[in-house]
Amino acid sequence: MEMLLEAPTESNVMPRVRRTTEAASIKLAPEVRRAWVGASEPERRSLANVFEVAILKYVKRHHMAVPAAAKEEQQPRED
């Protein structure tokens, strides 16, 4: 069975959805990683959620401001 695909045009291409999250990579000491996993398991929360909550609590506790998003991050993507 031969399958024909249309070439992408503006009318048949879905616009890209802007992601609400960003990927990050960090290196941790093994005991810190175990503590992180241990903190997530009792509440059945994701590692990402535990990390986000911890960072936001740290920022709040130290009265730090969260930098505003760059102008290009705030505009919807057109591609």
Q: For the segment 13-72, what is each residue's pLDDT rounded down to a tens digit? A: 666 666 688 899 999 999 999 999 999 999 999 999 999 999 999 999 999 998 887 765
Q: For the segment 22-38, what is each residue's pLDDT rounded down to a tens digit? A: 899 999 999 999 999 99
Residue with tokens 């990390």: 51
Q: Of 14, 4, 7, which is closest to residue 79 (Cα–Cα)?
A: 14
Those residues whose C-beta lies under 8 Å from the C-beta of residue 74, and which sit 6 or more positions away, are: none
The pTM assigned to this predicted structure is 0.60
Q: Of 16, 27, 10, 21, which is closest to residue 77 (Cα–Cα)?
A: 16
Residue with tokens 């998003």: 69
